[in-house]
């Protein structure tokens, strides 16, 4: 499931793991990994570490020096994690220039990027056929970096990256192509206004942070081919702004990124423990929590005078 050997844990102490980011209070990673731990019978402690922007490296070093076994890395630190683990990177992390999973092996810090595997795995779970598909990727930040390689590995026909700042998309694609051994991939870049394809896209993926701002990306209408999918890497108790936009524009199917979140976490779990947990029950459990929180808010609103 991964392109990196897993960490072998040989003692019976409770392993310490965490997610590090800024902000990180909203993260569901602790709940997800506790679900995995109960499934597999592995005892672990999983915390949240909110790192001041200027202290990320020091906190990572202190965590592992004090016996920590694995870190998940979230915004805005994935590229800095890549630099920290630059001597021992998985092939995917090398191409992505971003790391979301760290661990110590043979006394050295190792890094992998499981975001792409999480996305592709969730698309497969949903029944999205990426082989020979025309794919549009919106966004050129850290989220996009981690998924380009795995998306191309599916055998898609073409992958186009568009961004609000076209230069960032061009730089991302140019850098990726310079690091890839496959010079024949159909990978292109452009601005948001250049997102339309004459025949439409079979799959449009939102890797931008637009849904965090409660607004869809500023892409033109007419993006979707018949029977197309729209996938937002963000997740919510309700359809995201991007998903709502996609429905209005003719996408037949929409999905948010909860499944990607759980699947990439499962890949990290496998790296650390050598065991692949079941993903479906955890997605269902987290979705039920999201639904319950939405109903609780709605109930509270009804009680207001």
Q: Residues 188-214: pLDDT tens digits?
A: 999 999 999 999 999 999 999 887 778
Same fold, 15-115+260-279 and 116-256: yes
Tell me the C-alpha distance between 123 and 100, whole Å: 20
What does pLDDT average to over the chain? 91
Tell me the C-alpha distance between 85 and 89, whole Å: 6
- pLDDT bin (cut points 50, 70, 90) of residue 183 is low
Could you say which of 3.40.190.10, 3.40.50.10860, 3.40.1440.60, 2.40.50.140 is the CATH number of the domain covering 15-115+260-279? 3.40.50.10860
Tell me the C-alpha distance between 256 and 90, whole Å: 27
The answer to whether 78 is a known catalytic residue is yes
Q: Which CATH architecture has domain 116-256?
A: 3-Layer(aba) Sandwich (3.40)
189 three-class SS: strand
* Tally of CA atoms within 13 A in the half-sphere of 165 that contains its CB: 6
User: What pLDDT is attached to residue 8?
Assistant: 41
91 three-class SS: helix
Domain boundaries, the chain: 15-115+260-279, 116-256
Q: Which residues of 158-182 are buried (b: 16+ CB within 10 A; e: fewer)?
A: bbbbbbbebebbbebbeebeeeeee
Q: Residues 228-263: pLDDT tens digits?
A: 999 999 999 999 999 999 999 999 999 999 999 999
Catalytic residue among 48, 78, 252, 302: 78
Q: Residues 90-124: pLDDT tens digits?
A: 999 998 889 999 999 999 999 999 999 999 999 99
User: What pLDDT is attached to residue 75?
Assistant: 85
Angle 145-151-153 from CA coordinates, rounded to 5°: 120
- pLDDT bin (cut points 50, 70, 90) of residue 6 is very low
Angle 145-233-296 from CA coordinates, rounded to 5°: 150
204 three-class SS: strand
């Amino acid at each position: 499931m991964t392109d990196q050997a897993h960490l072998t844990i040989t003692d019976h102490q409770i392993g310490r793991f965490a997610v590090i980011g800024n902000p990180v209070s909203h993260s569901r990673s602790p709940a997800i990994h506790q679900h995995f731990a109960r499934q597999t019978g592995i005892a672990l402690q999983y915390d949240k570490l909110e790192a001041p922007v200027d202290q990320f490296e020091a906190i990572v070093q202190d965590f592992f020096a004090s016996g920590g076994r694995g870190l998940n890395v979230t915004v805005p630190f994935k590229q800095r994690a890549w630099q920290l683990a630059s001597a021992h990177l998985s092939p995917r992390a090398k191409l992505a220039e971003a790391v979301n999973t760290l661990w110590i092996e043979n006394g050295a810090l190792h890094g992998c990027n499981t975001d792409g595997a999480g996305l592709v795995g969730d698309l497969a779970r949903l029944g999205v056929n990426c082989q020979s598909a025309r794919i549009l990727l919106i966004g050129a930040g850290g989220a996009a970096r981690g998924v380009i390689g795995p998306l191309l590995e599916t055998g898609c026909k073409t992958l186009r990256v568009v961004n609000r700042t076209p230069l960032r998309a061009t730089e991302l694609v140019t850098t990726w192509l310079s690091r890839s051994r496959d010079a024949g991939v159909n990978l292109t870049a452009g601005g948001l206004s250049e997102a339309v394809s004459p025949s439409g896209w079979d799959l449009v993926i939102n890797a931008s942070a637009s849904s965090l701002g409660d607004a869809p990306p500023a892409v033109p209408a007419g993006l979707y081919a018949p029977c197309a999918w729209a996938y937002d890497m963000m997740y919510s108790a309700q359809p995201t702004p991007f998903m709502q936009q996609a429905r209005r524009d003719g996408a037949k199917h929409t999905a948010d990124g909860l499944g990607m979140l759980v699947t990439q976490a499962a890949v990290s779990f496998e790296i650390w423990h050598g065991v692949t947990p079941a993903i479906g029950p955890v997605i269902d459990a987290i979705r039920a929590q999201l639904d319950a929180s939405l109903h609780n808010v709605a109930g509270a609103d009804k009680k207001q005078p």
